[in-house]
Chains A and B, each alone.
Chain A
Amino acid sequence: MLDDFFIRALLAGLGVAIVTGPLGCFVIWRRLSYFGDTLAHSALLGVTLAYTMEFNIAFSVFIISSLIALILIQLQKRTNLPGDALLGLLAHSSLAVGLVVIGFLTFIRFDIMGLLFGDILAVTVDDLLIIWIGGPLILLVLKLIWKPLFASTVNYELAEAEGLNPDRAKAIFTVLMAGIIAISIKMVGLLLITGMLIIPAAMARNISDSPKKMVVYSIIGGLLSVILGLFSSLEFNTSSGPSIIAAALFLFILSLLNIKQSIKLKN
């Protein structure tokens, strides 16, 4: 069964969607969408590193993204620049450095398009292993830090005062973000990872009235996006990563219609 490239793609996509669902909720709640972007951009550097040193791609992307996240936290402490400026600085400079390094690596033929937009159809059994071991691991850790992370998302001082150690939760969450980007980069590519994090969660926000419901709907939305996106990419012969994101957008629009209907019913 795993011999079929389409089945592998489907399993990879579903594995990623289960993890991006809850993480994406936190990205929205904590207003981190540009932070996700920054980590994704820096992932290019990780990919080039993997090619030069002959590392595993997911592993080296994880290392570089975590490193960039740590640099960001340090810069926030040491400079007076606003957070979005620092994110922009890191996102674009790490992307640029990544591209420059690729220029030097003339001996390797790079599939830049594949890197930017993902190539889920080229997913191997090894990639599947990484997704289905790494993914549940990320979810497990997220479950462990859920209380302090969620409490500090609602109110930092409340969490700190009542002894929940929000700084540690935030640091761990940052590493989890690097983790999901590392395992999903091959699938959706570095330009579209943030879309996978944000769009299903945004869709879920439109139709939920409690945090737990939002997480569940976000996961379901992600799974549906993957199934819908992959089958339509097969049908219409479009690239798979963008098709998944487009499917997520379609679900988001549907969730807006749902709201309008319920308002009509109320009136």
Chain B
Amino acid sequence: MNSNKNVLVKLKQAGFRINDKWLVKGVTLQIEKGKIVTLIGPNGSGKSTTAKIALGIYKKIDGEVEKYTNKIGYVPQKISIDWTLPLRVNDFMTLTENLNEETINEALSLTGVIHLKGKNLGDLSGGEFQRVLLARAISKKPDLLVLDEPVQGVDFTGEIALYELIKKISDELNCGILLISHDLHTVMSATDHVVCLNGHVCCSGTPIDVAKNNEYKALFGEQASQILTRYEHRHDHIHTNEGEIKKN
């Protein structure tokens, strides 16, 4: 049974593989009410896979997942809407739950896209669509929000505003948030717990602990560990496909 009634999802040594290739392995983490857990890591490190394990989208997994809520809002990393579907923003908002007009308007206003309500989903820009996705996820007032790179394609000022909104929602709704992001500097400061992935859990803990960790430095470079003190992130290296780091 659930020992701590604040826990929403618990992963124990969870992993997922396709045939013999592990996408991610040995992940242990838990998400609690009112807390933000952030997953960071290079491309292909298993961040989205971990989110899908937690959500129960992947069913044949190794290890264990315990989920204590069904009120979930999800912003997937990739979503493509087919032109065969005539779908307006308004229709999309009630996709998985029936909401009243007021709730829809409130959520769309919070993410700054209320003016797009009657527009066809296919006519939105990438950033606009991302704001609609976020509005849909928060509108149902979920216990658990899973946000897979929720601000991709959003302009810089909007990005900061949306992260502030996410933090505010976590406090107001007292919901747990699993956040995946590349933007270390914006994300880390608002986070309660950071899990650094690279096919497995490299390190985890409070943002300050993780920033000091050597594996984290190896993964993101010396610069990245200073992001909490300095608000500037200069990228002096490139990540290769194997997750190695090359200096420029």
Contacts and interface: CB of A to CB of B under 8 A. Distances in A.
Interface of A: 28-29, 31, 147, 150-151, 153-155, 157-164, 205, 208-214
Contact of A161 (B56, B84, B87): B56
Nearest to B76: A157
A236 to B, nearest CB: 34
B95 interface: yes
Nearest to A167: B59
28 contacts: A31-B84, A147-B96, A150-B95, A154-B95, A155-B76, A155-B79, A157-B52, A157-B57, A158-B76, A158-B79, A158-B95, A158-B96, A159-B96, A160-B55, A161-B52, A161-B55, A161-B57, A161-B72, A162-B72, A162-B96, A164-B96, A205-B84, A209-B86, A210-B87, A210-B91, A211-B85, A211-B87, A211-B91
A164 B98 CA distance: 13
Contacts of A210: 86-88, 90-91
Interface of B: 52, 55-57, 70, 72-74, 76, 79, 81-82, 84-88, 90-92, 95-97, 120, 146
Interface of A: prevailing SS: helix
Nearest to A208: B86
Contact of B70 (A28, A158, A163): A163
B79 A162 contact: no
Ranked nearest first, the 6 interchain pairs of A and B with the lowest CB-CB distance are A161-B55, A161-B74, A163-B70, A162-B96, A151-B95, A160-B57
A151 B86 contact: no
Nearest to A162: B96
A53 to B, nearest CB: 40
A157 B150 CA distance: 16
Interface centre among A155, A160, A164, by most chain B C-beta atoms within 10 angstroms, is A155
